[in-house]
Amino acid sequence: MTDMKKTLIIISAVLMLCGCGAQKNLYKWEKDQVRMIADAAICYGGHSARNPYLWTEERFEKTVAYTDENGQEHWLFDNMIMMELWDDDFKVTYSIANDGRYSSRKEHWQGQLDYWFDAQNGFAALDRCIANVSKRIGKPSSKRGIIFSLPDPVFFEHYSKAMKGENRNTVYWGEIDGVAMDFAKPEDRVKAYKWLVDAVRAKFAEAKYKNIELIGFYVLSEELSVPGSFRYEYKQHDITIKAVADYCHSLNEGFYWVPYAMAPGVERGKDFGFDQVVMQPNYYWTDAKWSWDQIEQTIRKHGLGMELEFEGTHGEPLTSSILANFKNGKPNPHAARNKSRFQEYLHNAEVRGLYGEVPFVLYSGTNGLYELAISEDPTDRAIYHALCRFIIENPLKK
């Protein structure tokens, strides 16, 4: 039997076991078609070391609205992606990692729910923030869309140790309906995904927010495997990701992904079931590995969007709470380079005709957009206004 035939058999079994093909009971916001986004801002939250830790009304306002040079206020991002990568207090990661952390368990996934659905902060604060801005400039044309990230159900309790032949435990995550999940089974990994999807949906329905609505889910892993790829047997993304995509689509929920530049799987977004894939150019993090011609060709060939990257590492002195080596007012050796590269993003998007044709997602680290918005540095102010005009004037928003 060929590897492809084996894969198809496994996929069929997973779909049957998980009931992914059946239409489920829908909530009122799920009656519509999947929303295709023009823009979104990534909002990180839940890591105990992030500073600030909470998403308050004041903090959200810089993502929700923009005041231009003439004092006129505008709606800014239409959608927000809520996610977290790891938590050092618990020494866990929400994705496959080789850095010594344990894989997150059900209790940590529940912690993400508790964080964002807090009675005062998170989604509640965002809902109030939008209501207050609406009093000043009128209601937006639609509710702000929320995309909730799905942690990876990692095969092993400790992936890096397992690769060394140690701690190959796969029954660690927790139970669903009284049954312990074994992540060596792709159907159990799909059940964990579905558990979180349904928990998020139920909490949205219970909260009855007036100004935000759930529009879909985001896959956290930045690269996806298919048969023949590196350590495929421990990932099987073409089985599990496709199954959860089908489940989300049965609910009229969208399915989104932001891989790094040229990541494995980037050319197969539709095969995995994604409605939209937005690729990082990776010009910010490293010296230019790919030319802008290559980036543009990949985006156009595979129907991708483009990520913009801006965070505290653009500041002088550095303000990001994550990069401890350059904190406490020390000079930031990368500030000028990073600012230049961000402007390069905007320039290339426009001159290459991507602007107005593809969606854009902003990565801004822990609090980069807020820090940029309140900065009094003239260069920061110019970049902030350029970014906000880029978002609010995007023809895709019309």
Q: Mind listing the pLDDT tens digit for each residue in 275-333?
A: 999 999 987 766 668 999 999 999 999 999 999 998 876 666 545 444 444 445 566 67
More confident residue, 279 or 377: 279
Number of residues written out for the chain: 398
More confident residue, 56 or 227: 56
Q: With contact defined as beta carbons under 8 Å apart, do 309 and 345 qualify? A: yes
- Over residues 346-371, mean pLDDT: 95
What is residue 326's predicted lDDT score, i.e. its pLDDT?
43
Q: With contact defined as beta carbons under 8 Å apart, do 94 and 85 qualify? A: yes
- Over residues 221-225, mean pLDDT: 93
Looking at every residue in the chain, the average pLDDT score rounds to 90
What is residue 313's predicted lDDT score, i.e. its pLDDT?
67
What is residue 337's predicted lDDT score, i.e. its pLDDT?
81
Q: With contact defined as beta carbons under 8 Å apart, do 283 and 341 qualify? A: yes
What is residue 332's predicted lDDT score, i.e. its pLDDT?
67
One-character DSSP codes across 51-62: SS-S--HHHHHH
More confident residue, 329 or 239: 239
Tell how many helices (H) and how many strands (E) occur in the chain.
Answer: 12, 15
Distance CA 170, CA 140 (A): 46
Distance CA 14, CA 20 (A): 8
What is residue 315's predicted lDDT score, i.e. its pLDDT?
67
Distance CA 21, CA 171 (A): 27
Distance CA 213, CA 6 (A): 39
Range of weakest confidence among 9-23, 322-336, 378-392 = 9-23
Range of weakest confidence among 80-94, 140-154, 221-235, 279-293 = 279-293
More confident residue, 320 or 378: 378
- Over residues 240-244, mean pLDDT: 97
What is residue 24's predicted lDDT score, i.e. its pLDDT?
65
What is residue 257's predicted lDDT score, i.e. its pLDDT?
98
What is residue 207's predicted lDDT score, i.e. its pLDDT?
98
- Over residues 90-103, mean pLDDT: 87
Distance CA 297, CA 173 (A): 41
305 φ, ψ (degrees, to nearest 5): -95, -175
What is residue 21's predicted lDDT score, i.e. its pLDDT?
43
HSE toward the beta carbon, residue 4, CA cutoff 13 A: 0
HSE toward the beta carbon, residue 356, CA cutoff 13 A: 6
256 φ, ψ (degrees, to nearest 5): -130, 155
- Over residues 21-32, mean pLDDT: 78
What percentage of the chain has pLDDT greater than the value 70? Answer: 87
- Over residues 61-69, mean pLDDT: 97
pLDDT bracket for residue 32 (50, 70, 90): confident
- Over residues 87-92, mean pLDDT: 86
What is residue 100's predicted lDDT score, i.e. its pLDDT?
82
What is residue 88's predicted lDDT score, i.e. its pLDDT?
80
Alpha-carbon Rg for the chain in angstroms: 21
pTM strictly above 0.85: yes
